[in-house]
């Protein structure tokens, strides 16, 4: 596939395309359905506004109707987005997606009264409703969670005002997105073949993985020179984005922006601090790895543009899609026959969209609505890394499959805190399977290096990002303005702390913070690191105590958002309120490093 000219959507074999028709057999009804949902939302407001807490039956009906409207709207929106992702050149589905956004805004406005009105009622009355009406039991956790946040919910008028200015307060994210995806240009470099090529977001990592050091340096310089040229604009954008976080938190009576961000999942502050503390305590292990990288690359000076190039070339050059599926099935056998059967059923039902075509959205994801298959978008290129992508996204999709089969709509999603666990457990099981069955020392070295890089880029790097976010938000809370010089200085110091003296300090890496889109969704990236730690602990348990641990893990997959993430992960045998899972993950990193060092 990769050696051929890129196909159009129509030229792609049906067996490699997802069965999206199963989700929406007749899309001609979508416009009518969207208009009906707007009408239902308006009627909803007229029916329940002012009467929400009049009786337990009124509250139950209001909750059920609210779920019904959102459930139908979600399905249409997800369908439109996925259709758009098949071929972004088609205006039809862009228009359908835009129309969904408009209806979502209208429905949100019509239902804006709900939470303030619920919280304005005496709490003992609402709790009394839960006691007297058994049908409200389904909503008990959601209601109690809303009551938990009562002190941070404003009056109906204030909530309505915040909702109306939401488009303005989120504008910094949109500004950065336009700068980052539309306006910024990274210039051209000479690739390995001497051809002049444009550096893009899409090919940058490929250049960073090039065995040609001059190509790596040229791409690195081209990328960061472009951010340097816009650094004052980006700094101002991020400054106001961070101010918005801080001011919104104050309006909602949170002690800090971080506290506000953690509150939604009811995550104790200690979880964030434990992550940073344990990772900082293990930075000598990362320094040991960078020292080894310098030695194996045989360079007098190691730079940040040397951090992504594989230390060992992959002995397996090509893995077909069908071979990748077989590898996934074998690797996931420790999860039990039921998991494998459900996964195989999903593959045969058409969950997966496999190959790239003209106009198709890049990357990979797992998506779908409560009432659809948990679809997977891939851009498979027949590499071993693509197999890790398949198994990662299948982890998300199987999580959705189990949850939606066992939870009502209101609990049918996952917080990022738990979602990344399901995908990373699968990746960990694949890695262990491949290491166990590696038939030569070169393959083993390649896999160990790949695994170490996952730790570096997920557990260490995302924690560094989390530290940066904490620093910038605390600065704003202390009355400081985030200037470009100050942020570049803070980031450069963090980067040096994490990577150690083996990596030369240059005048470029300090601009890296300016290209991270996740910073515009504050206190988010730490969840990748905690999720990776939890997944490492769970996969180790499954491999050493297969039956019990796998049973507990499947139980966890069924829970959705029916409780807080910390409690849900305890079902799988991991307590993220302690430092232990992160410490165990660091033990694994050190063990892998020991083995890799002994082989090279």
Count of CA atoms in the C-beta half-sphere (13 A) of 87: 14
Question: Cα–Cα distance between 113 and 136 in angstroms, integer?
Answer: 20
CA pair distance 56, 534, nearest whole angstrom:
39
- If you compute the radius of gyration of the chain from its CA atoms, what whole number of angstroms results? 25
Helix or strand run (H / E) with residue 192: none
* Sole residue written with tokens 């099981």: 429
Residue with tokens 């010089």: 485
Q: How many Å apart are CA 302 and CA 304, to the nearest integer?
A: 7
* Strands 375-377, 352-353: pairing kind: parallel
Q: Is 17 exposed, middle or buried (0-12, 13-18, 19+ CB in 10 A)?
A: middle
Distance in angstroms (rounded) separating the CA atoms of residues 536 and 118: 41
DSSP string covering 162-176: HHHTHHHHTHHHHHH
Sequence-ordered list of residues with C-beta below 8 angstroms from that of 146, at least 6 positions apart, any chain? 115, 118, 119, 153
Tokens of 554: 């499947």
Residues 6+ apart with CB under 8 A from 582: 274, 275, 278, 279, 530, 533
Name the phi and psi angles at 363, rounded to 5: 80, -155
What are 212's strand-pairing partners? none
Looking at 27, 393, 420, 427, which residue is catalytic? 393
Tell me phi and psi for residue 190, to 5 degrees: -95, 125
Which has the closest alpha carbon to 248: 523, 565, 564, 526? 523
Contacts of 280 (CB under 8 A, 6+ apart): 497
| Cα–Cα distance for residue pair 557/323, rounded to 1 Å | 26
Active site residue 323: no
Q: Which two tokens stand for residue 56?
A: 């337990």
CB 402 within 8 A of CB 376: no
Catalytic residues: 393
């Amino acid at each position: 596939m990769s050696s051929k000219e890129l196909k159009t959507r129509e030229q792609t074999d049906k067996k490699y395309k997802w069965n999206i028709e199963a989700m929406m057999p007749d899309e001609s009804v979508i416009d009518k359905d969207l208009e009906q949902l707007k009408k239902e939302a308006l009627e909803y407001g007229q029916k329940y506004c002012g009467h929400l807490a009049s009786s337990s039956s009124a509250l139950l009906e209001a909750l059920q109707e609210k779920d019904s409207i959102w459930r139908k709207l979600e399905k249409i929106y997800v369908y439109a987005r996925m259709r758009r992702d098949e071929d972004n050149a088609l205006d039809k589905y862009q228009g359908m997606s835009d129309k969904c956004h408009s209806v979502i805004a209208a429905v949100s406005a019509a239902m804006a009264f709900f939470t303030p009105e619920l919280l304005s009622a005496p709490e003992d009355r609402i709790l009394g409703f839960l006691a007297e009406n058994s049908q409200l039991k389904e909503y008990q956790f959601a209601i109690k969670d809303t009551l938990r946040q009562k002190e941070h919910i404003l009056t109906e008028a204030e909530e309505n005002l915040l909702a109306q200015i939401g488009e303005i307060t989120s504008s910094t994210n949109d500004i950065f997105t336009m700068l980052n995806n539309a306006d910024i240009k990274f210039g051209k470099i000479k690739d390995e073949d001497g051809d002049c090529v444009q550096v893009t977001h899409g090919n940058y990592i490929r250049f960073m993985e090039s065995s040609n050091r001059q190509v790596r340096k040229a791409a690195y310089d081209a990328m960061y020179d472009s951010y340097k040229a816009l650094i004052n604009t980006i700094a101002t954008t991020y400054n106001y984005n961070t101010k918005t976080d801080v001011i919104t938190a104050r309006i909602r009576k949170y002690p800090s922006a971080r506290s506000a961000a953690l509150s939604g999942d009811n995550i104790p502050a200690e979880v964030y601090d434990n992550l940073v503390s344990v990772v900082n305590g293990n930075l000598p292990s990362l320094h040991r790895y960078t020292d080894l990288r310098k030695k194996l690359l045989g360079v007098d000076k190691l730079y940040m543009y040397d951090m992504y190039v594989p230390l060992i070339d992959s002995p397996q050059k090509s893995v077909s899609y069908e071979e990748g599926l077989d590898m996934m099935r074998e690797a996931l056998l420790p999860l039990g026959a039921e998991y494998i059967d459900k996964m195989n059923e999903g593959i045969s039902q058409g969950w997966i969209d496999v190959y790239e075509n003209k106009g198709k959205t890049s990357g990979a994801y797992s998506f779908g609505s409560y009432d659809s298959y948990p679809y997977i978008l891939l851009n498979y290129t027949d590499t071993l890394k693509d197999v890790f992508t398949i198994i990662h996204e299948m982890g998300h999709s199987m999580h959705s499959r189990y949850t939606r089969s066992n939870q009502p709509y209101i609990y049918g999603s996952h917080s990022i805190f738990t979602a990344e666990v399901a995908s990373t457990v699968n990746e960990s099981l694949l890695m262990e399977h491949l290491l166990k069955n590696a038939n030569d020392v070169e393959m083993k070295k390649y896999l160990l290096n790949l695994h170490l890089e996952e730790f570096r880029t997920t557990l260490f790097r995302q924690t560094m990002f989390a530290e940066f976010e904490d620093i910038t938000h605390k600065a704003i809370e202390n009355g400081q303005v985030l200037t470009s010089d100050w942020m570049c200085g803070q980031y450069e110091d963090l980067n040096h702390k994490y990577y150690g003296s083996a990596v030369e300090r240059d005048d470029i890496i300090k601009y890296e913070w300016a290209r991270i889109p996740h910073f515009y969704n504050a206190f988010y990236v730490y969840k990748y690191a905690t999720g990776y730690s939890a997944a490492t602990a769970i996969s180790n348990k499954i491999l050493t105590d297969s039956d019990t641990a796998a049973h507990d893990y499947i139980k966890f997959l069924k829970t959705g958002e029916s409780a807080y993430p910390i409690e849900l992960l305890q079902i799988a045998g991991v307590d993220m309120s302690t430092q232990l899972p992160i410490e165990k993950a660091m033990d694994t990193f050190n063990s892998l490093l020991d083995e890799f060092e002994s082989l090279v």
